[in-house]
Amino acid sequence: MTKRCWLLIGLCLLAFALRVYRLETQSLWFDEGLSVYRARLTIPENLSNVIIVPPDVVTRDTNPPLYFILLSGLRVFAGESEYALRFLSVMAGVLTVTLLYAVGRRLFSDRAGWLAAVLGMLSSFFVWYSQEARMYALFALLSLSSVYLLLRAFNLGQRHRDCSPTAASRLTWMAWAIVTAATMYTHLTGFFLLPFEAIVIVLVLGRTRRREVVLAGMGMLVLAAPIIVYGLSRAAGHDTNFGFRPLDSISEELWDTFIVGRTNTIFQPVWTVVPGLAVLITGTFQGLIDRSARRSMLLLVGYLAVPLLLFYGVTFIRPLYTGPRHLILIALPFYLLIARGLDVIWSRSRLAALTVLTWTLVLSGLWLNVQFFDPAYTKEDIRSMARLISARATPQDGVVTEGAIGSLTFDYYYTGSAPRYFIPVYPSSDVNAATSALNARAQSVDRVWLVTDPPPENIPPKALDEWARGHLLRLDHQRFPSSWLGSAYQLYTARFPVYDQLPSTASVRDSQWLTDTLHLAGAGPIVVSPDRAVLTTTLYWQTDHQPSDNFIFTQRLVDDTGAEWGLLIGTAFDNWSAAQWPMGKLIKHEAQIDLPHGLPAGHYRLLVSVAYKLGLRLTLLDGSIESEAAEITISP
């Protein structure tokens, strides 16, 4: 093999390493759950685009089926681990790097091809979507393949002056037609590539081969016709995630993301983006004034501008844009333009070119590090939430998910014994019906694990949670890392822990605070987790008079020397104040204390104190501020 082949293989291996690195680290997020669902369908089911939203509601996905059909085939052979599901995108991302080299070399020079490939390999934007079980990496590959095959069909490029279509075989045209159709059947925005390619065909053939132009136009209409069905289904729907954005805002976010990487603040700092834009403008300007490179530059500018402007025009009718991923096809000419600019600078000053290239590569590396390790760029951690609920929920509990589509990802990870329920039933937007259903479910089970995030698609995001906080007792809640839609649960019960007398498992205590207002009447057994990392306590409180405010309880686990091994400070219940407790009744208060160092063998005491405000602990009748609630002995 030639030196060029070995270099290209090395570049592919580097691209592959970057894309498989930490491939399974992040949970499948909201949209990837839909990919899993469709990967489990048959080819006819995927072609119909029908999806059954839990529990049994028939609806349609608005994304074309090709990616899901390919993913379904991969799943048959490789299974449906996160690694396997994302591997199709990994390979698409690697092949895109090789194609960037081929297109850059054809349009400009061998050096421009290498520079484009390096930019694509290190692009944090491309790496992100090459590690996601969605269609964007495949869409980028197919769209660039379509353009490359069109260039070959017409023998276009700086090194190829013959624009006669007879220079290409019929096989090239057949491949172009197949790949172009595949592009549109992978993502709807592939449709915006067709007008650009139609312009190229007209400009090449328009004067001398009008018949071929008409035939090509008819062929393109045949390719595009079926995709209109999917487009109309998207246009007929309404998605609150999509909103109109002006062109300057879209453009700024695009070049920020393409040059540096996707950011949660939408826009990158100006100083990080200016060098890349300067190189792009330099290459474009030089290419337009250089007669030998003008045709290739016009092709590249059209490849970027035509799909972008058409996409933006459609947004006046139906908003389509929620982020750069929807325009990933124009990231490719963007990198080619930067590569051309670096090539031009290199021919005049290698030092300047190396300086700019080093800056670009360092910036890409730094942002890759951010994407890989910064918790702020964690995808919705539905995996941790589902596994926690699986471990803690009992068969007497119920797990309720609000988001119908989000529940697909949750179910991918959920293995618990508690039955699953879906409230509201998609696509109902009746909040009253949803709260009534949640109330009925809460009355029929011990506890309700309410998955509030990802949010529901059809009712206000906090409607059920707000109702539950006013009518049910919240026992626990937790929010998990997320960079967009969120991942969180709330644990509620309709069975308030009110008792007339101590159960037989509890020991009697008689500690009093505030004269006769608050009593510690009893304590249940202390339970230590098998790994000795969590301590579960149970206390029984009683109020004889209505307190004026809520109480703050402090529980400390100490050994015989007084050394502290665990500490918990907070109210007994976060949505049920002591001022609302029924007087004269026993209130069961369960809590978990983390033991960060583990718990060695020995004798321990649980000490309890009470305050109205942090730092102002109340005294007991005997003048002390802490009461011993329980003792525990850990055997060696």
What are the tens digits of pLDDT across the range 284-337?
A: 999 888 888 889 999 999 999 999 999 999 888 888 888 899 999 999 999 999
Mean of all residue pLDDT scores within the chain: 89
What are the tens digits of pLDDT across the range 397-450?
A: 999 999 888 899 999 999 999 999 999 988 888 999 999 999 999 999 999 999
Residue 168 has pLDDT above 60, yes or no: no
Residue 497 has pLDDT above 90, yes or no: yes
- Give, in order, the Cα–Cα distances in Å from 8 to each of 4, 13, 98, 111, 144: 6, 9, 7, 13, 18
d(CA 219, CA 576): 68
Lowest mean pLDDT among 65-74, 108-117, 257-266: 257-266
Residue 533 has pLDDT above 50, yes or no: yes
Q: What is the pLDDT of residue 167?
A: 47
Q: How far does Cα 440 stand from its chain's mean position?
A: 32
Q: What is the pLDDT of residue 576?
A: 94
CA atoms within a 13 Å half-sphere pointing along the CA-CB vector of 93: 33
Mean predicted confidence (pLDDT) in 338-367: 92
Tokens, residue 511: 């500690």
Give strand pairing partners of 587.
498, 541
Residue 9 has pLDDT above 70, yes or no: yes
Lowest mean pLDDT among 260-269, 473-482, 602-611: 260-269
Residues 6+ apart with CB under 8 A from 161: none
Lowest mean pLDDT among 240-244, 394-398, 441-445, 530-534: 240-244
- Closest by Cα among 410, 591, 56, 497 to 399: 410
Q: What is the pLDDT of residue 133?
A: 97
Mean predicted confidence (pLDDT) in 457-466: 91
What are the tens digits of pLDDT across the range 538-577?
A: 999 999 888 888 899 999 999 999 999 999 999 999 899 9
Contact predicate 188/179, CB 8 Å? no
Residue 165 has pLDDT above 70, yes or no: no
